[in-house]
């Protein structure tokens, strides 16, 4: 009897372990996949890149049919985006129905894409938009969710609105945070609607921007290794700005009603690698690895301890066509280069996981570069030539504090600009002329961290699906199966003695 009693206790402990750690398992790894690039990788190559790195969730910024079609039968969960410039039209319910019929319905029947969310707009209440989307976002959200419901998808697909953290008016501590006074009533409407429909609140959190915009911002507070200036907020202590930002949202939600426990998704979080004195590979690696280790530990935040955090890293791949109005760092958020090569070692699954796997099947133009020819052309036209090259390509790596700044002199800057234009235009005839100041060479002129690129030719399609995505979730499923098997075997043994 004592043996049987002991085994019963053991079985009970195992069941408690499964229930507890099943609820605390890490959220699957998500990334943002943008396509604002002059030479984007083919969607099939990107899907293979996602799979080979165990990335099982992706957030898109539109409903590009080539991209969504590439995700058919991929087992990758998808958040489909609606750009801000479409919001006005979607205030018409019939157009919202049409949008769902065109961009969602084709993938919900015979074509299987695991669409879980629709992002209605992207940071539409940024103060820099001067209120352009204030009067249309809520109507568009309601109409899209209503259209999803009418099509029979409402139980599976939820509409949400990715918000920037600037919708929150911060206080001296996270607990004092509220939504900005001028949008408080509107935010209350949106939050109520999300909550009624079982949809999450989506927030984008960027510690890099905090550091970029405030020279007095404590650098260590942006990362996850502790801070010399932690914030004390009653019983809570904040060692990093991510936790403080996340809990500021929780406090803001609680301030407008019983919403402090609603589901939250971190729609974007990351660190750029170029274009600013604080945008570099070392900081990006430190931040992204620190964040991943932080969320994988399931430590949660002070207001939500021991809680898994749903997130999407920003971003997957560099995009050279992104607007640089916010800063020269905008084209450089990717954890991969434009061609799918990893920028640095990063364990997506945590501190001891595998490093990034580069894209396969990528082909390049001829190994030729366009550089400045000091012996040719009219040097009085050099300035105009550089300006023209940079206005029609991406020269953000030349700025102060950027990757090329320490390595290039004036002639080197001209060469970099010329080559960017040359590659942007597929090394075409006449694209290295620049009034006779350019010349094509076959020796790589790269110096230090300043890389003179060779553009993508036409990447071949990735091979057959030889990888399984969602490594962490599948590991949990395997572990759970093992534990449940042990439970069954133990139960069988119990009742047989």
**Token pair 């997130």 in the structure block, residue:** 311
Question: CA–CA separation, 144 vs 160, rounded Å?
Answer: 10
Closest-CA residue to 425 (of 363, 365, 362, 340): 365
CA distance 97 to 228: 53
DSSP per residue over 414-473, as a string? HHHHHHHHHHHTTT-TTTT-TTTTEEEESS---BTTB-----B--PPPP-S--S-S-HHH
- Structural contact between residues 285 and 313, judged by C-beta atoms closer than 8 angstroms: no
Angle at 453 between CA 450 and CA 458, to 5 degrees: 160
- Closest among 30, 251, 265, 257 to 161, alpha carbons compared: 265
Contact 9, 290 (CB under 8 A): no
Beta strands in 94-167 (DSSP E): 114-120, 158-160, 162-164
Tell me which of 123, 239, 319, 330 is the catalytic residue. 123
239 given a catalytic annotation: no
Which residues make beta-bridge pairs with 203?
163, 266
Number of alpha carbons in the 13 Å side-chain half-sphere of residue 470: 16
Q: Is 123 a catalytic residue?
A: yes
Contacts of 44 (CB under 8 A, 6+ apart): 70, 461, 462
Which pair of tokens denotes residue 181? 């006074």
| Cα distance between residue 315 and residue 323, in whole Å | 15
Tokens of 450: 């300043």
Tell whether the torsion through CA atoms of 408, 413, 417 and 419 is positive or negative. Answer: negative
Catalytic one of 27, 239, 268, 330: 268
Active-site residue list? 123, 268
């Amino acid at each position: 009897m004592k043996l049987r009693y002991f085994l019963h206790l053991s079985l009970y402990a195992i069941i408690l372990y499964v229930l507890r750690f099943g609820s605390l398992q890490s959220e699957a790894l998500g990334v943002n996949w943008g396509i604002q690039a002059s030479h984007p990788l083919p969607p099939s190559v990107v899907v293979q890149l996602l799979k080979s790195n165990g990335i099982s969730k992706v957030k898109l910024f539109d409903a590009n049919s080539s991209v969504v079609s590439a995700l058919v039968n991929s087992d990758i969960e998808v958040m489909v985006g609606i750009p801000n410039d479409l919001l006005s039209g979607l205030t018409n319910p019939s157009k919202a129905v049409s949008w769902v019929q065109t961009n969602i319905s084709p993938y919900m029947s015979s074509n299987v894409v695991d669409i879980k969310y629709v992002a209605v707009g992207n940071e539409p209440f940024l103060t820099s938009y001067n209120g352009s989307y204030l009067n249309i976002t809520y109507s568009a959200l309601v109409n899209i969710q209503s259209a999803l419901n009418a099509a029979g998808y409402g139980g599976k697909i939820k509409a949400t609105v990715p918000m920037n953290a600037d919708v929150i008016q911060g206080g001296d501590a996270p607990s004092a945070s509220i939504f900005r006074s001028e949008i408080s009533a509107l935010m209350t409407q949106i939050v109520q609607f999300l909550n009624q429909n079982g949809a999450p609140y989506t927030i984008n959190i960027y510690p890099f921007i905090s550091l970029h915009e405030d020279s007095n911002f404590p650098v260590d507070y942006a990362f996850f290794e502790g801070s010399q200036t932690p914030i004390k907020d009653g019983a809570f202590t904040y060692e990093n700005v991510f936790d403080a930002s996340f809990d500021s949202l929780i406090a803001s939600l609680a301030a407008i009603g019983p919403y402090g426990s609603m589901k939250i998704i971190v729609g974007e979080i990351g660190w750029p690698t170029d274009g600013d004195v604080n945008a570099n590979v070392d900081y990006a690696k430190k931040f992204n690895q620190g964040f991943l280790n932080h969320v994988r530990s399931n430590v949660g935040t002070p207001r939500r301890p021991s809680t898994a955090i749903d997130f999407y890293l920003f971003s997957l791949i560099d995009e050279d066509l992104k607007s640089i109005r916010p800063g020269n760092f905008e084209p450089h958020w990717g954890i991969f280069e434009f061609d799918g090569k990893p920028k640095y070692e990063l364990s997506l699954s945590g501190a001891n996981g595998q490093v990034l796997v580069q894209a396969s099947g990528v082909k390049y133009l001829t190994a030729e570069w366009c550089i400045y020819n000091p012996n040719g052309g009219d040097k009085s036209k050099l300035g105009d030539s550089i300006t023209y090259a940079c206005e029609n390509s991406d020269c953000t790596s030349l700025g102060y504090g950027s990757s090329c700044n320490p390595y290039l002199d004036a002639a080197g800057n001209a060469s970099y600009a010329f080559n960017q234009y040359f590659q942007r235009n597929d090394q075409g005839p006449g694209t290295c002329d620049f009034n006779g100041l350019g010349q094509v060479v076959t020796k790589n002129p790269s110096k230090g961290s300043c890389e003179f690129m060779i553009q993508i030719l036409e990447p071949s399609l990735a091979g057959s699906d030889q990888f399984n995505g969602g490594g962490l979730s599948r590991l949990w499923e395997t572990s759970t199966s093992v534990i449940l098997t042990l439970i069954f075997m133990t139960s069988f043994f119990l009742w047989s003695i």
